[in-house]
Amino acid sequence: MVVLLDYGAGNVRSVTNAIKCLGETVTIVSHIKDIQSADKLVFPGVGNFGSMMRILNEKNYIRALKDFLKSGKPFLGICLGLHALFEGSDEAPNVKGLGILPGTVKRFDIDLSVPHIGWNGIAIKKPSTTFNSLNGNEKFYFVHSYYVVPENDDDILTTTNYGLEFVSSVRTGNITATQFHPEKSGDAGLTVLKNFLDPSDSIEAPTYTLKETRLAKRIIACLDVRSNDRGDLVVTKGDQYDVRENGDVRNLGKPVVLARRYYQEGADEITFLNITGFRDFPLEDMPMIEVLKQTSENVFVPLTIGGGIRDYTDKNGRNYTALEVAAEYFRSGADKISIGSDAVLIVEEFLRTGKKTGKSSIEQISAVYGNQAVVISIDPRRIYVASPDDGKHNVIKSQINGPNGESYCWYQCTIKGGREGRDVDAVTLARVCEKLGAGEILLNCIDRDGTNSGFDIELINAVKNAVSIPVIASSGAGCAEHFYEVFLKTEAESALAAGIFHRKEIPIAKVKKYLYNRVEVRV
C-alpha cells in the first residue's frame, strides 16, 4: 500500500490512478498518523511553494514528514514535492522548506517561454534503479517555472536542458524526487513509478548519459464536446465553429473512447472543450466531470478542460466562483483549465480601469493552482482593414487580401463560441492575460477552424511575439506538412488539431513520424 500526501491543491487523482493502474492500493493522508505509519510515501506537489508550506504547517505535517524522510523508507516527491525538500524557494522568499537537502529553488531567468511546459529529456548523472527498463532517451512531462539547485552534486540524479542545464531529479538514499511528472509521462513515467513501487536489487538502467536534452514540440488532440439534440454527450467538430450538418450536431464519437485512442496513438496532451459551457453551467453539467474522471483512469498525459469557467449564480441564487468550478475540474483529473469568454470580459474590464482586481478567474485560479494551470482559449476572427493603423487594435500587414483588396487585418476576439465579436484584439488579449497570471495561450482561429487549409501563421506570429508564455497553435490542420509549417514559421510550442484526427484522415503517430528528424518530437 502506498500513502499519498495530498495537501489539497491540484490533481492528485492522476497520481492515484497511475499507482492504481500499476496494481497498488493508495491511501490519502488525512491525519499525521497516516504519514507516521506509511511504508512508502508519495508527495505530489502543485501550485505555489509558499501556500504548500503554509498548509503543511497548518496541518502539522512538517515533523512527521521530516521523520519519514530520515527513516530510510521509500519516498517519492513530484514537482513541488521535490522543491519542498530544499531549504527555501525564490517563489516564496520568506518561507522555509523542509531543509532535508541543502540547496534552494530558483526561477527560470532565460530567453525562452516560462513556464517550461512539455516533454523534455533527461541526462542521467549516477547509477540508480529509477530508470530500470528504460534506455534514458525517453521524454518526460514537465510543467514548472522554478528549478532546484542542490548544493551537493551527489544528490543529482538527472539534469535537463531548457535555456540552461537544470536538475530534473534527485536521489539520495531512500529519497527520490522528480521535477517531471511521472504520472503524466505516458509509459516512461509509469515505468519510473513502477521502479519506485517495486524496486529491483540490481541496476539495469544506463548509469550515466551525456547529452543536451531538447523540449519537444507538442501535438495536442482537441475534443469539442457538447450534448446533441437527443441529449447524448458527443465529440463534435465545427466548420468555422458551425457544428451542425443538415440540422444535427455532428457526432464524431464518445469523449472517453476518443481520448483513450489519442493517448494510445501518441498524443502529447488531450484538451476537452465543453463548447456550450458558456450557457450550461459546468457544475450542473456533471457529464463533463465524469468524462474527466473516467479519462484520467487510463490516460497518462496532461488533460486540459475548458468551457464555462467563470463566476455563476444558479437558479436558486447560489453563487459559485470560477475558482470553485476550476477546483471541481482539478479534483476530477484536469491538469489545466482553459478560459475563453470570461477572459475577454476580464480584459475589457482591465482595459477600462487599468487595474488588476485580484478577483478575476485568471488571477484567482493562477494564485491557487499556479500560472501553468491557466490556459486562455482565444477564438479570434480576421477583420480586414485598409490602413495599418486604426488607432485601436493591433493591425498587421497580411499576405492574404480582404474581400475588398484590404492588405491589413486585426484579429477580433469573440465570446460564446464565436457568436459575439468584441472590440478587443487577440494580441492585446494575450498580453493582458499573461499579465494577470495566465500560463499558456490556446490560439484558435475561426477563419481556419475545420477548413483543413493550414494554421494561420500570421495570427500565431502576432500573438507569439507579444507574450513570453507558451502558445498552442490551433485550427486548420489538414495534413502533416501543416504541423511542420507551423513549427518552421512560428515559435509556437505546440500544435492542436481536431477534425483530421476525429475523421481518421491522419493518425497522430503519422504526424509525429513526419515531423521526426525535422523538429524535436516525442516518439
**273 binding ligand 1PR? (CB under 6 A):** yes
Closest to ligand 1PR by CB, 395 vs 496, is: 496
**79 binding ligand 1PR? (CB under 6 A):** no
- Please name which of 404, 409, 406 lies closest in space to residue 456, comparing C-alpha atoms: 409
Closest to ligand 1PR by CB, 157 vs 344, is: 344
CA atoms within 13 A on the CB side of 51: 13
Residue tagged active-site, from 138, 224, 285, 440: 224
Interface with ligand 1PR (CB under 6 A), residue from 275, 362, 426, 430: 275
Cell 508564455 -> residue: 469
Strand ranges inside 213-262, DSSP E = 218-227, 233-236, 244-245, 248-249
Phi-psi region of 119 (alpha: psi -120 to 50; beta: other; left: phi over 0): beta
Phi-psi region of 239 (alpha: psi -120 to 50; beta: other; left: phi over 0): beta
Residue tagged active-site, from 79, 222, 409, 413: 79
| Residue 79 known to be catalytic | yes
Q: Min. distance of Cβ 274 from ligand 1PR in angstroms?
A: 7
**377 binding ligand 1PR? (CB under 6 A):** yes
Residue nearest to ligand 1PR as judged by C-beta position? 417
| Residue 324 known to be catalytic | no
Cell 477534425 -> residue: 499
| Residue 201 known to be catalytic | no
Q: Min. distance of Cβ 269 from ligand 1PR in angstroms?
A: 13
Give the length of the chain.
523
**188 binding ligand 1PR? (CB under 6 A):** no
- Please name which of 497, 514, 513, 500 lies closest in space to residue 221, comparing C-alpha atoms: 497
Q: What are phi and psi of 9, to 5 degrees?
A: -115, 115
**498 binding ligand 1PR? (CB under 6 A):** yes
Interface with ligand 1PR (CB under 6 A), residue from 243, 256, 292, 424: 243
| C-alpha cell belonging to residue 116 | 517550461
Q: Min. distance of Cβ 408 from ligand 1PR in angstroms?
A: 24
Query: Rounded CA gap, 489 and 491, in Å?
Result: 7
Interaction residues for ligand 1PR, span 462-491 (CB under 6 A): 474-477
Interface with ligand 1PR (CB under 6 A), residue from 141, 241, 329, 330: 241
Give me the sign of the Cα torsion angle 502, 503, 507, 508.
Answer: negative
Query: Rounded CA gap, 411 and 475, in Å?
Result: 14
**306 binding ligand 1PR? (CB under 6 A):** yes
**380 binding ligand 1PR? (CB under 6 A):** no
Question: Is the separation of the CB atoms in 297 and 255 below 8 Å?
Answer: no
Question: Is the separation of the CB atoms in 417 and 451 below 8 Å?
Answer: no
What one-character DSSP code corresponds to residue 201?
S
| Residue 239 known to be catalytic | no
What is the longest distance spanned by two Cα atoms in the chain? 75
Interface with ligand 1PR (CB under 6 A), residue from 7, 196, 278, 411: 278
- Residues 209-238, mask of contacts with ligand 1PR (x by CB under 6 A): -------------x-x------------xx
Residues classed as catalytic: 79, 181, 183, 224, 379
**Which residues contact ligand 1PR (rule: CB under 6 A)?**
222, 224, 237-238, 241, 243, 273, 275, 277-278, 306-309, 338-342, 377, 379, 417-418, 444, 449-450, 474-477, 497-499
